[in-house]
Structure 1
Amino acid sequence: MEKEQLIELASQLSHPSGEKGSEIAQMMHETNIGMTKNAILNLNLSPGDVVLELGHGNAGHLEYLFAQSDHIHYTGLEISTLMNSQAKQINQSFVAAKQADFVLYDGNKTPFANDRFDKLFTVNTLYFWENPLETLTELSRILKPKALFSLTFAHRSFMETLPFTPFGFTLYNPDEVMKLVEKSSFILKLEDRQTETVHTKAGDPVERQFSTFVLENEK
């Protein structure tokens, strides 16, 4: 793949748009569903939880999320207008039932009041945070005290084998994420480290190492 194509792919992965963005979004959903389910399971969802997801993509995983407990309310937060639109379409029954809503934002300040959410999860967005500590501070603000946050990411050792990650990705191994957490108001409750088999565009199986950091809001 040419450099220009890799740059375009990296851009689509961080902010899907246009016809190509729809294809990328479906590919991300299929490739990342194992990581997404792991993030959700680690939240230990309870009846009545108010849940936020940062960077929901097409949100094809909501049926799985709502199966975890009763009377959950989900809010998805995105920078991509395409993903916002697609998620609403795919999940229109949940939106109509007022179980889910989808919100656009600028990637920095969220449009929510303090102490709004019980649980938060995000999958493979960490690489695109321009200022990770500012992002963690903002997420702490909108989470209730003692709220749980599943932060799920693939390890640097895997991500650096992909040809597009030199273009706009900041990669982390677990110890580097831990250093960020230690500077924030979150504390690490659990690291769930996993290895799964995923397939390249050529169909070849590869082993992907990822972690879910289960963080507790200690503000």
Structure 2
Amino acid sequence: MNEQELKGLAEQLGNPSGKKGVEVAEMMDRNNIKMTIHSIDNLEIKNGDSILEIGHGNCGHLKLIFEKAIEIQYTGYDISELMNIEAKKLNQNLIQNNSIEFKLYDGDIFSEADNSFDKIFTVNTLYFWSNPIEFINEIYRTTKPNGIFCLTFAEKDFMEKLPFTKFGFNLYSIEDVQKLIEHSNFNLEKIENQTEEIQSKSGEIVSRKFLTMVLKKTL
């Protein structure tokens, strides 16, 4: 891929749009499924939980959440209007029979009141947070007491090797994120590491290391 194509790919990964955005979203759903499952598993979902997903994409994984327990309430936020539309389209049957809501937002503020969600998770959105300290405190605000937030991402040493991440990606090491967490009242409960073989967004097969940080809101 040339520089212009890499830049276009980076823009689509951050905010999918148009016909190309649908294709990129499908690729992200396939490539990120292990990361998504890892994040969901660490939520320890229970019956009746209210769950927030930040950056749901096309949400092809939604059924995996509803297989975990009953009477779940799911809210998904995304900055992409296309992803809002695609998620609703792909999950029509689930939406008809469950408490599910997909919302558009500006990437900074949720409309819910304080202490709204039992569980919150996000996969591969950290790189695009415009105000990371303010945003993690916004996540904390909407997490219920004793609630869990799972932050799943690939570390800087892997991401910086990918040719498109120089266009608009903010990359983080574990230490960088730990410093970010210190600006909130979240407690870091554990860090789980995984490695997988994937086809990168630009076509080559790579070994990706990723991790999930499990945070808890304690008062």
TM-score range, shorter chain: over 0.9
Note closer, same or farther for the CA distance 1:106–1:202 as it changes in structure 2 (3 Å cut).
closer
User: Any residues of structure 2 matched to 1:99-114 within 5 Å, and which?
Assistant: 99-114=99-114
CA deviations on 1:126-160 (whole Å, 9 max, x unpaired) are 00001111001111111111210010000111111
Secondary structure of the equivalent of 2:141?
helix
Which residue is 1:205 aligned to? Answer: 205
Normalising by structure 2, report the TM-score.
Answer: 0.96
Could you list the structure 1 runs, at least 4 aligned residues long, displaced by more than 2 angstroms after superposition. 200-205
User: Any residues of structure 2 matched to 1:24-173 within 5 Å, and which?
Assistant: 24-173=24-173
Residues of 1 paired with 2:96 and 2:66: CA distance?
15
CA deviations on 1:174-199 (whole Å, 9 max, x unpaired) are 11111111121111001011111112
Residues of 2 paired with 1:180 and 1:62: CA distance?
29
Deviation at 1:27, TM superposition (A): 0.3
Secondary structure of the equivalent of 1:42?
helix
Letter of the 1:118 counterpart: D
Deviation at 1:203, TM superposition (A): 5.7
Letter of the 1:130 counterpart: S
Q: Answer with 168-177 or 92-101: which moved more.
A: 92-101
Secondary structure of the equivalent of 2:47?
coil
Residues of 2 paired with 1:196 and 1:85: CA distance?
30
Residues of 1 paired with 2:181 and 2:200: CA distance?
31
Secondary structure of the equivalent of 1:197?
strand
Q: Pairwise CA RMSD of aligned residues?
A: 1.2
Which residue is 2:179 aligned to? Answer: 179
> What number of residue pairs does the alignment pair up?
219
Structure 1 residue runs without a partner (length 5+): none
Deviation at 1:26, TM superposition (A): 0.2
Normalising by structure 1, report the TM-score.
Answer: 0.96
Q: Answer with 134-143 or 95-104: which moved more.
A: 95-104
Deviation at 1:202, TM superposition (A): 7.1
Letter of the 2:77 counterpart: L
Residues of 1 paired with 2:15 and 2:218: CA distance?
31
Secondary structure of the equivalent of 2:43?
coil
**Percent of matched pairs sharing the same residue:** 49
Which residue is 1:19 aligned to? Answer: 19
Residues of 2 paired with 1:25 and 1:164: CA distance?
16
Letter of the 2:216 counterpart: E
Which residue is 1:217 aligned to? Answer: 217
Q: Is it true that 1:188 corresponds to 2:204 in the alignment?
A: no
Deviation at 1:218, TM superposition (A): 3.2
Residues of 1 paired with 2:2 and 2:27: CA distance?
20
Deviation at 1:96, TM superposition (A): 1.4
Residues of 1 paired with 2:54 and 2:7: CA distance?
23
